[in-house]
Amino acid sequence: MSLNKSWRTTTIGFLGGVIILANELIAVLDTSPETNMSLEAIGMAFAAMGIGYFARDRGVSSEQEKA
């Protein structure tokens, strides 16, 4: 898959995943014992990145994407 064909969807999915991972990183680095890391949130972050990578923009056809 070429990133220059569906770059909008890829970017949004990647940024969504990075935001979730950054939030969990804060929980790991926090010294407070009340904050815990969530493995479910980390899984959701990687799922968002995967969906963003494999999804196709609305204006991109199968022929343009070479799918």
Per-residue pLDDT, averaged over 39-60, amounts to 87
Segments making up each domain of the chain, as ranges: 7-65
Find out whether 12 and 23 touch, Cβ atoms under 8 Å.
no
Lowest mean pLDDT among 5-9, 26-30, 47-51: 5-9
Residue whose structure tokens are 């990133």? 3
pLDDT score of 67: 54
Whether the predicted pLDDT of 64 surpasses 90 = no
pTM summary value: 0.73
Tens digit of each residue's pLDDT (9 = 90 or more) over 9-41 = 889 999 999 999 999 999 889 888 888 889 999
